[in-house]
Structure 1
Amino acid sequence: MPQSMCLITGQQGQQMSVERFDLFKHRIGDREFNLAVHPEPDKLTNPDNRRLVVSLYETGCKLATLQAQVGEVSAGVSTVRALAQETIKSLANEIGSERLSRLLDNSLTDHQPLNG
């Protein structure tokens, strides 16, 4: 499966580049967001045992940890994307799609690009 890199925000706000498994658009409320699925950045764990997470692509704001590990990605991108979408829908149902949309919008507004 081809993978590319994406920049995400790690612990204590530092930015790091991680392998990205998928990038897709998803509508939350009235707005469409770019979401990335990537391994949780944990250097102490075996790479195949790390959980997958879904983050806002532009800022790296982590939305949810998925019930899948990196080693399980062989199921295919469409399966991982469906799991990510269901997880985001559940989160939106739990806190409200408008509130989630506002939180993500704030993340985009507050995001300062690195070095220009």
Structure 2
Amino acid sequence: NGVCGEKGRWKSNLIAKCLREGKSHDDTSVSPVVRQTLLHWAYEISESDFDKGSKRVKTHGAAYVNTDSLSGKKLKKNIADDDEDEAEVQAVNAEKQAKGREERVRRRAATGAR
């Protein structure tokens, strides 16, 4: 179902909150309100459900939780890596632009346009 099934929004929400806070699936200090909601549906999260659900939450996100806030979702790279990546992206973009200009010049020459 939509609450606590395989893709259930509240189960995924609880998993995301556990991941974000770096706590285990059975730590009751993580979102007691969501836990109570799940208990109303006669569901208590198990370790195996948490493990399966965390893979999905890390890749697809969860309801009402920003995926950027999940630990392990996005790892910050050091500044040197960012600079190298940025330089590489700029070089690739410059190469694409040069090829595009060459192609336009060739087409204009073929049609006799200026």
Q: Greater Rg, structure 1 or structure 2?
A: 2
TM-score by length of 1: 0.23
TM-score by length of 2: 0.23
- Structure with a larger share of its residues in helix: 2
